[in-house]
Amino acid sequence: MSETTFMGVERDKIDWKPVIDYTKCDYCMECVKFCPHKVFEVKQNEEIKLIVKNPNNCVVFCRACSKTCGPDALSFPDKNETTKKIKEIRKEMEGNG
């Protein structure tokens, strides 16, 4: 399901994933139900019951899970920084190619 590249750049080189604020998260698991890419994992028997298990499955620039989050506990990296970084990597790749 996950993409291995985004705009030709290896997904692993792009820092884009949800960050859970555990002081706000109430473990309603709406984000888990919503995300078709299996970014999150539920750990029912542990103190921290929700983790970002597969950050590279997260679709770059998608923030849709945060729209399902009642307590507003999900945040994402700065998109302008991410855009800049992707452009830089693409330039490097062109230089090397």
Site string for other proteins, 30-49 (x = CB under 8 A): x---x-x-------------
Q: Which is nearer to other proteins, 44 or 80 (CB)?
A: 80
C-alpha separations of 3 from 12, 70, 84 in Å: 10, 28, 20
Smallest gap from Cβ 27 to other proteins, in A, equals: 13
Taken in order 68, 75, 6, 3, the sign of the CA dihedral is negative
Map the footprint of other proteins across residues 68-97, applying CB under 8 A.
68-72, 79-80, 82-83, 86-87, 90
37 in Cβ contact with 18 (< 8 Å): no
